[in-house]
């Protein structure tokens, strides 16, 4: 009788050979191609270049612009004003607690 499929001995030898080659590659790459660690100067440069802070436009010309006509809405204890030009909320008032 003939077996169907791969021979188990040959399959074991092939897997052992592949494992040996991977292990040999790891050892060779560890000794002959060492990883360089970044110096402190490189770390400082990376920290400086990371994430710049967002530039908020507070106190700029955008806030000083006259918004023109405003529409006031009242909903129970709340009132807010919306500028017709740009649709920006200009004022929000909580009448119950008196906060603007």
The model carries a pTM of: 0.36
What is the per-residue DSSP string for 48-97? HHS-PPP---TTSHHHHS----EEEEEETTEEEEEETTT--EEEEEETTT
pLDDT of 66-98, one tens digit each? 778 889 999 888 898 988 877 788 888 888 887
pLDDT of 35-57, one tens digit each? 777 666 666 666 666 666 666 66
DSSP for residue 36: P
- The span from the CA of 52 to the CA of 47, in Å, is 10
- The span from the CA of 31 to the CA of 72, in Å, is 75
End-to-end CA distance of the chain: 93
């Amino acid at each position: 009788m003939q077996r169907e499929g791969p021979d188990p001995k040959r399959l074991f030898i092939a897997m052992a050979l592949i494992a040996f080659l991977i292990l040999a590659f790891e050892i060779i790459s560890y000794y002959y191609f060492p990883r360089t660690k970044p110096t402190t100067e490189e770390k400082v440069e990376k920290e400086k270049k990371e994430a710049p802070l967002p530039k908020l436009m507070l106190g700029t010309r955008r806030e000083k612009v006259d918004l023109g006509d405003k529409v006031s809405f009242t909903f129970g204890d709340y009132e807010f004003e919306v500028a017709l030009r740009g649709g920006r909320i200009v004022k929000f008032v909580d009448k119950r607690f008196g906060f603007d």
